[in-house]
Amino acid sequence: MQFESLQLIEPILKAVKEEGYTTPTPIQAQAIPIVLKGSDLLGCAQTGTGKTAAFAIPIIQLLSAAPATNQKKKIRSLIVTPTRELAIQIGESFKAYGRHTHLNGTVVFGGVGQSPQVTALKRGVDILVATPGRLLDLMSQGYISLHDVEIFVLDEADRMLDMGFIHDVKKLLAALPKKRQTLFFSATMPPEIVKLAGSILHQPEKVSVTPVSSTVDIIQQQVFFVDKGNKISLLLEILNDKNIKTALVFTRTKHGADKVVRTLQKHHIKAEAIHGNKAQNARQRALANFKAQTTRVLVATDIAARGIDVDDLEYVINYEISNLPETYVHRIGRTGRAGARGTAFSFCDAEEKEYLRDIEKLIGKKIPVVESHSFPLTDHHPVKAPKQQQGKRNTGYSGHKHSSNNSAKKNYGKPKTPRY
Ligand code: AMP
């Protein structure tokens, strides 16, 4: 199927072509016709499936087909998404797909000064992309009115609930016109999401793509069993492979992310962290450096990384495995975007083995194990291991130096490098 067969207007077809897209992704092929005919939509899809274009393209088409009658522009479409990064990326997508139309839009999110956002709003926008907190804030100050919203999109609803935005969402819903078109997207559909969707959608058509397991199928996944204290050495060994131009590394905590970055920097690997403790502009800068490949390794926590969209990101490394199996899918979904190649490595210590089992259950397959690497797991029962011994094993993660009798160092450049 081609974009031409979706009855799209010329300015959109042109923009899509300029983006380099040739065929619609499955979510686009299914969702675009539904949105174009004005129906509500319940979409079960995660980022990486092309879902942003699946709603942005038909919204642009609907709004440009029926131009606003009012003199001053009013917000006709509102897209609410949980994180700043997602908001910015959605804003960029609208700009890209709508560049040959007269429509304009802006993005509002917290953590930055509000005055440039207020200035943009005062000029008048057709499309507003927002995170919930700043949106409500600007509404309460009278800078935003939702009275004229025709199409409302709730993006990443499951994440929204996870992040505690349910009350904000309810407040927004109360401020939206009853008569509107609503598009609801969520990567997962737990009961509370189904309930929320039921309460805000009107006779929705359902679209579900790439169930978790099939999305991850195109990503080459491998697991390395390794002692906790040797993870940094294993990471250094893997990064010794110059074919790895960039890698997104996930840690569980902000502190852990900073620690990994410091150690990589000491080993002259350009690395930056992206997490909630970083100021918004520092996060944006880190992301821009990573996209430009001036930073080779971006170390991220889950919330900060949600929605990070880096074209051609080939490597995702789970430095620590999350206890939530769905997080694994979201993490590795940063690579292999829209059918591109991707590789995901997971470092699994003894404590994380049960998380790995949950992940394998969710994705419905065993993740191949890399047997021959320099730091095989020795500490099978970390809880029972005497403290003294654990400390000994931890020498690989001693911070500033990579001890010279460390096996990683000895193996650098030797043929017996891990098979990955
Ligand atoms: P999303 O799921 O919206 O975060 O999109 C994931 C990635 O796929 C983004 O980098 C988009 O630019 C890209 N993309 C979206 N639609 C297409 C398409 N039809 N063909 C190729 N790439 C696409």
pLDDT tens figures, 136-174: 999 999 999 999 999 999 999 988 988 889 999 999 999
Please name every residue paired with 248 in a beta bridge, in sequence order, or none if there are none. 298, 316
Q: Give the mutation target among 23, 25, 57, 311 for probing the ligand 1 site: most ligand atoms within 8 A of CB.
A: 25
Please name every residue paired with 206 in a beta bridge, in sequence order, or none if there are none. 42
The CATH number of domain 3-209, selected from 3.40.50.300, 3.40.1440.10, 3.10.20.30, 3.30.565.10: 3.40.50.300
| pLDDT at residue 78 is higher than 80 | yes
Instruction: For residue 263, report the distance from its CA to the centre of ligand 1, in Å.
Output: 34
Instruction: For residue 50, report the distance from its CA to the centre of ligand 1, in Å.
Output: 4
**Could you count the other beta carbons within 10 Å of the beta carbon of residue 339?**
11
Rounded CA gap, 183 and 153, in Å? 5
Q: What is the largest CA-CA distance in the chain?
A: 75
Least confident of 86-95, 153-162, 202-211: 202-211
Domain boundaries, the chain: 3-209, 213-420
What CATH number is given for 213-420 in this structure?
A: 3.40.50.300
| pLDDT at residue 396 is higher than 70 | no
Q: What crossing angle do the helices spanning 26-36 and 51-65 adopt, rounded to 10°?
A: 30
Reduced to 3 states, what is the DSSP secondary structure of residue 275? Answer: coil
Tokens 């979706």, located at residue: 6
Q: In this predicted structure, what is the pLDDT of residue 70?
A: 59
* Ligand 1 cavity residues, CB under 6 Å: 21, 24-25, 28, 47-53, 309, 311, 337-338
Rounded CA gap, 128 and 151, in Å? 11
91 Cβ neighbours under 8 A, 6+ residues apart: 105, 106, 107, 129
Q: In this predicted structure, what is the pLDDT of residue 56?
A: 98
Rounded CA gap, 395 and 392, in Å? 6
Q: Which residue from 181, 313, 184 is spatially nearest to 247, judged by alpha carbons?
A: 313
Phi, psi of 231 (to 5 degrees): -60, -40
Q: How is 121-160 classified by DSSP, letter by letter?
A: HHH--SEEEE-HHHHHHHHHTTS---TT--EEEE-SHHHH
Which tens digit of pLDDT belongs to each residue from 401-419?
333 333 333 332 332 333 3
- Measured between its terminal Cα atoms, the distance across the chain in Å is 35
Tokens 């926590």, located at residue: 301
Kindly give the number of the ligand 1 atom that is closest to the alpha carbon of 49. 2
Whether the pTM exceeds 0.95: the reply is no
Write the CA distances from 133 to 8, 156, 171, integer angstroms.
34, 15, 11
Write the CA distances from 250 to 120, 257, 327, integer angstroms.
35, 8, 10
Domain 213-420 in the same topology as domain 3-209: yes
Tokens 């679209």, located at residue: 207
| pLDDT at residue 355 is higher than 80 | yes
CB 204 within 8 A of CB 39: yes
Sign (positive or negative) of CA dihedral 244, 250, 254, 255:
negative
CB 73 within 8 A of CB 94: no
Q: In this predicted structure, what is the pLDDT of residue 141?
A: 97
Q: In this predicted structure, what is the pLDDT of residue 30?
A: 95
Strands (DSSP E) found in 190-296 = 205-208, 219-225, 247-250, 271-274
Instruction: For residue 251, report the distance from its CA to the centre of ligand 1, in Å.
Output: 26
Kindly give the number of the ligand 1 atom that is closest to the alpha carbon of 46. 2
Q: In this predicted structure, what is the pLDDT of residue 383?
A: 56
Q: Give the mutation target among 4, 19, 207 for probing the ligand 1 site: most ligand atoms within 8 A of CB.
A: 19
Instruction: For residue 7, report the distance from its CA to the centre of ligand 1, in Å.
Output: 19
Please name every residue paired with 129 in a beta bridge, in sequence order, or none if there are none. 79, 107
| pLDDT at residue 390 is higher than 70 | no
Can you give the length of the chain in residues?
420
* Residue 111 burial class via C-beta count within 10 angstroms: exposed 0-12, middle 13-18, buried 19 and up: middle
Q: What letter represents residue 122's amino acid?
A: K
- CA 120 centroid distance within chain: 26
Instruction: For residue 48, report the distance from its CA to the centre of ligand 1, in Å.
Output: 6
